[in-house]
Structure 1
Amino acid sequence: QFTSIFCLTVMSMDRYLAVVHPIKSTKWRRPRVAKLISATVWSFSFLVVLPVIVFSDVQEDFQTCNMNWPEPVSVWSAAFIVYTSVLGFFGPLLVICLCYLLIVVKVKSSGIRVGSTRRRRSERKVTRMVVIIVVVFVFCWLPFYTMNIVNLILILPADPVLEGLYFFMVVLSYANSCANPIL
């Protein structure tokens, strides 16, 4: 779950470096560094998901794998929702938006100075790419995290419609991993 989001965040940072700091970033934008960063992302993802590995358990009553928190369950559950929301959505979204905002600002300022038609086309292409990436990211993940936070605040009743909606949101969040290579 987290690896996809972290990779998307790192890709955004890489695009930022390539566009905004093309000369300074050449020492960082090398295959060896990319492999190291990729290994770091996977290792960090493993650490972030460690609570799931430690506290997941099959609940025989439901025939599903769920979190089995120690006491006080409500505190652990709430902490986990906040933890995953910040690390798995809001933090990466902030970094992604900031990177692409700075890319757009750089491209626009370069385009204004040069004023060429080719630059303006390039500017529109980058802007469109930025908007699509951020919109798809938010579209795929916001419903999932919103439902978790709402459930934390209101404690939604056990309802088959809500359960179906929740599972749809889980599938939608994983669809982001399918969209990333295309984007």
Structure 2
Amino acid sequence: MVVLSAVFLLGTVGNGLVIYFAAFRMKRTVNIVWYLNLAIADFVYSSFQPLSIVYLAHAHWPFGTFMCKVDSIFRNMNLFASIFLLTVISLDRCVSVLFPVWCRNHRTPKLASFVALGVWLIAFVFSLPYLMFSEIGENKKGNMYCYNNYGNGTSVKQLNHTGTVVMKFIFGFAIPFILIISCYSIILLRIRRNHMTTSSKPFKVAKAVIISFFVCWFPFHVFSFVDLATSYSDDFHLLCATVIGGSLSYSLMFLNSCVNPFLYFFLGQDFKVQFRTSFQAIFEKVFTEESVQLDSHSNTRSTSESHIVLAKFPVQGC
């Protein structure tokens, strides 16, 4: 409950500020489109936390079947959208480094908006199973609870349960994680080969992106498989591991929705300088795209994105 309360307050306020500045106070660019959609996904996820707080406080779901399904699909859709957007941002940066001329001619905010819309549609499709399985039940004490009903019969339940866990792991972690690592590896190799920077900060920031993504999501998927095993087993040790480890892994997963704005602030520019500026100036420094002219015949490249210099990368966090 403490973690959920913190996520609700920090996530709604932090992402709300990002949405306000990105949508109403800043020029629309490709980067702004990515960060705006990412902030919307995290904001919606954070805004649903009061339902879980009430649920945990009273050990009772008082909101009915409809809200049980709405809560389930919105949570999963925004989780998928957030992860997919992080992957798209990495791919976008990689393409900008590899094909700068094509990006100058075709990489536009309008195209980015269509890609973001596609991300939301794909996230919705991946969330449909949770909409179908979400139901409410009643325990022996007469309290209602919201849960995933995977069907009738042990074999059917196990098959559906396994399918959703494996699907979320493959498409919600494994593939995005591989793509993010691959993109940043290509970018760093290109920087080293072309001697674009002599600072060690770009490599530290890129490493932070990968590590933070892994730390927030890998434990959650590990204990999803543990929970899958305990659901059809009477092993006491597995049950204990699920209860203890599952709580910790869920806490890390919840923090995903509120950590990004703080990473923008602390890692986007020097903290002491940013602290003296307005919030708008902070986000502008983090998000604004610059023009870096590099001659291709002297180990340099031309690009319209400052994110080629990874020292200016806003870390997208967990």
TM-score (norm 2): 0.51
Provide the residue aligned with 1:139 in structure 2. Answer: 215
Is the 1:136–1:176 contact (alpha carbons within 8 Å) kept by the matching residues of 2? no
Aligned pair partner of 1:165 in 221, 245, 249: 245
For 1:19, the equivalent position in structure 2 comes to 97
Tell me if 1:70 matches 2:148. no
- Kept in 2: contact 1:16–1:99 (CA 8 A): yes
- How do residues 7-86 of structure 1 correspond to structure 2 at under 5 angstroms? 7-61=85-139, 63-71=144-152, 72-86=156-170
Match of 1:149 among 222, 225, 231: 225
Q: 1:65 to 1:164 in 2, by over 3 A?
A: farther
Query: Take 2:169 and 2:97, find their aligned partners in 1: how far apart are those partners?
Result: 29
Shift of residue 25 of structure 1? 2.2
CA distance in 2 between partners of 1:21 and 1:125 (Å): 24
Matched, 1:178 2:258: yes
Q: Give the distance between the partners of 2:239 and 2:162, measured in 1 at CA.
A: 21
> Does the residue aligned with 2:136 lie in a helix, a strand or coil?
strand
Name the counterpart of 2:180.
96
Map Cα deviations across residues 83-118 of structure 1 (whole Å, 9 max, x no partner).
11001100100111111111111111111xx7xxxx
Query: 1: CA distance between counterparts of 2:107 and 2:201?
Result: 22
Equivalent residue letter for 2:162: A
Aligned residues: percent identity?
Answer: 27
Equivalent residue letter for 2:110: R
Aligned residues: 175
Unaligned runs of 5+ in 2: 1-78, 264-314
CA distance, structure 2, for counterparts of residue 85 and residue 28 of structure 1: 33
Separation in 2 of the partners of 1:35 and 1:160?
Answer: 45
Structure with greater Cα Rg? 2
Cα deviation digits, residues 115-172 of structure 1 (max 9, x gap): xxxx212xx2321121001100000000000111233356564857732531332231
Mean CA deviation greater in 19-28 or 125-134: 19-28
- For residues 131 and 188 of structure 2, the distance between their equivalents in structure 1, rounded to whole angstroms, comes to 40
Residue matched to 1:130: 206
Q: CA RMSD in A?
A: 2.2
How far is the alpha carbon of 1:22 from its aligned partner? 1.9
Contact in 2 for aligned 1:16/1:103 (Cα 8 Å): yes
Query: How far off its partner does 1:14 sit?
Result: 1.1
Q: Which amino acid aligns with 2:81?
A: T
Partner of 2:30: none
Using the TM superposition, name which of 163-172 and 66-75 deviates more: 163-172
2:191 aligns with one of 87, 101, 107:
107
Q: Which has the higher contact order (CA 8 A, sep 6+)?
A: 1
Kept after mapping to 2: 8 A contact 1:14/1:29: no
- Please point out which of 75, 80, 99 is paired with 1:2: 80
1:75 aligned partner, one-letter code: L
